[in-house]
Amino acid sequence: MSLLITSITITTPQLQDMLGFYRIIGFQFAAAKVDKGSEIYRAYHNGVEFSLYKTINAQKSQVPGLQLGFMVTDLDGTVEKLKAIPSVTCILDPTDMPDGKKAIMIDPDGHAIELSEKQ
Amino acid sequence: MSLLITSITITTPQLQDMLGFYRIIGFQFAAAKVDKGSEIYRAYHNGVEFSLYKTINAQKSQVPGLQLGFMVTDLDGTVEKLKAIPSVTCILDPTDMPDGKKAIMIDPDGHAIELSEKQ
């Protein structure tokens, strides 16, 4: 199977408490360089990037606080099929990025899903 | 590092749409045998069990729809340290199960976290 689970990101209004919890479990976080005002901490375990992202806007905390990333073999084809589901939204069409081709979809439950292409 | 990410479970009120979405991404789900009235579909990719769980009670859909599983080396010690965080709840103390020793904690954001012990 070529599918890979690549990332789990949790958005939280209480970053310090969440960092404390996951550090005890064993995650070794490093602060990620992000836009001014944002705070993201990342850790890597068995090939999965686990991130905690601080919610800046209280209103945004209503959005499901989970983003997942997957690596697939045929990004364009996968995105076309996903777009055919009525409850799915594409917020970024397949786009070449410095670190590879990516797309972002919103799944039927409202979670942001980042898809990247296996090279 | 001995920590392993072992599972991602998403609880959803719209299981069929979610199954359709994740099958297109490439997950090969199998129905899991569960209590009458429940529906769970599981898939395995790079060592991570990815499950979709149907929300039965509409009121329960208010609960954060994400559960994560991690395997740690010192389960008792980890649980004791986690319990010392005021915003954390332990809903299952370390208990011997047929498939190993497990505990369930609620993280500061309300996500259920299953911890198992590496053997």
- pLDDT tens track for A18-43: 999 999 999 999 998 777 767 899 99
- pLDDT tens track for B42-69: 999 888 999 999 876 655 544 457 889 9
CB-CB neighbors (< 8 A) of B24 in chain A: 78, 81-82, 85
Cβ contact A78:B24 at 8 Å: yes
| pLDDT(B1) > 90 | no
Q: Which of A20, A48, A62 is nearest to A114 (CA)?
A: A48
Helix (H) or strand (E) holding B18: helix B15-25
CB-CB neighbors (< 8 A) of B3 in chain A: 25-27, 45
Check B46 against A45: CB less than 8 A apart: no
Check B46 against A4: CB less than 8 A apart: yes
- Which member of B47, B81, B107 has the closest CB to residue A18? B107
Find the residue in A nearest to B49 (Cα).
A5
Instruction: Return the amino acid letter for A110.
Output: G
ipTM of the complex: 0.84
Whole-model pTM: value is 0.84
Would you call B18 an interface residue with chain A, using a CB distance cutoff of 8 Å?
yes
- Could you give the angle at the alpha carbon of B97 between the alpha carbons of B95 and B98, nearest 5°? 165
> Residue A57 corresponds to which tokens in the numbers above?
């806007």
